[in-house]
Amino acid sequence: MERAIERQRVLLEHLRPSSTSSSLENLSASVCAAGDSAAYQRNSVFGDDVVIVAAYRSPLCKAKRGGLKDTYPDDILAPVLKALIEKTNINPAEVGDIVVGSVLGAGSQRASECRMAAFYAGFPETVPVRTVNRQCSSGLQAVADVAAAIKAGFYDIGIGAGLESMTANPMAWEGSVNPKVKTMAQAQDCLLPMGITSENVAQKFSITRQEQDQAAVESHRKAAAATAAGRFKDEIIPIKTKIVDPKTGDEKPVTISVDDGIRPGTSLADLAKLKPVFRKDGSTTAGTSSQVSDGAGAVLLMKRSIALQKGLPILGVFRTFAAVGVPPSIMGIGPAVAIPAAVKAAGLQIDDIDLFEINEAFASQFVYCQKKLEIDPQKINVNGGAMAIGHPLGATGARCVATLLHEMKRRGRDCRFGVVSMCIGTGMGAAAVFERGDACDELCNAKAK
């Protein structure tokens, strides 16, 4: 009872989070509260809550080989942005800002492509657009930035989105590296290939090859089951595009409506045949790494009072966000530090969270985070993750928000709180807490016991 009362008190005051530091084993991590938009005074009917009224994504497709390989990045994002308008009937001119997470596209070029996508989607020239890059959490950071801006009173309605075409923009370092990097170990570790950081996590925390293979099998199994059951249909916006035959140059019009990287027949026996790809004596394989993908996602946020005025159903409530720093050499542990920070800021505990979407950058780090936080396997990535669905870097955060909120809606009263989290290249982690949209009342915002 005391625990419930304390959580109610904290939630009703809605937390002005204190500066938090987390530790993991012997490791320390710095927490960034920027964008942690839980700290604000709430009125008696929660009209100043920031809520999500729509969240959609494109299908995620294999880079260079999948259904979106011949699609311009702006043509991947535009249909998803357009869906937010069409499915909610909002006036696009009322949107105060569109923030798009993106990692690999050249800064000015990707910013221009996102602005062009907004025009293609039907937004007037009065609606501004900007991009944000926090590596693999860019899509989630975009959502958090919009939530923070709404709570700050900059505008009442905004869109947090994500876009990546890893076909158009492969991962590569442009230009020379500052030779000063050789003088500092932490700086050198920022340049480590992500696969090496996966091996470091596996080695340091004794994550076995079998555990990693099993996690990959489960990811494909759950994603295949979700696809077969139609559980992604509410979140996926089909993309009308073309496929170009590389031999003849012939173009074929197609509509892409499903993720094309999922392998339903993946087995432990198949994965056991794969060789390590980053270290000869390592345990990380192509099968236990996230897929290189093309895709986009978009989330429409606004004040609860505005949503009620417009009669829009509330899909979810944005509660808290935390970004943390961890050692670059084991960047994959990020969620194990970021999730406790975000959950604590929400006045909750890990056991209070009903669903987790943790990006599967690599099986090693995914398994580690699940074990470290002691998360019930029945609560985590219930519809599969990036090893099966794909990981278009800048879009992943927005994709995970859409997947989480639609699953929470399906589960109804049995699912109140959800978390999206991911590790971040160069040594960071990010996490956000969401509440199911119809779970609040005027008197208490604590979980019923």
- C-alpha distances out from residue 159 to 104, 128, 376, 403, Å: 21, 11, 32, 17
Note the helical H segments in 259-362.
268-272, 304-310, 334-345
Contacts of residue 391, Cβ cutoff 8 Å, sequence gap at least 6: 136, 290, 291, 292, 293, 359, 360, 361
How far, in Å, CA of 424 to CA of 337, rounded? 12
DSSP, residue by residue, 17-55: PPP-EEEETTEEEEEE-TT-TT-S---TT-TT-EEEEEE
3-state secondary structure of 176: coil
How far, in Å, CA of 72 to CA of 79, rounded? 12
How far, in Å, CA of 143 to CA of 139, rounded? 7
Buried residues in 189-213 as b, exposed as e (16+ CB within 10 A): beebebbbbbbbbbebbebebebbb
Pairing state between β 21-24 and 27-32: antiparallel
**Tell me, what amino acid is at 307?**
A
Active-site residues, by number, are 136, 391, 423
On whether the CB atoms of residues 359 and 66 are closer than 8 A, the answer is: no
On whether the CB atoms of residues 74 and 103 are closer than 8 A, the answer is: no
How far, in Å, CA of 225 to CA of 18, rounded? 42
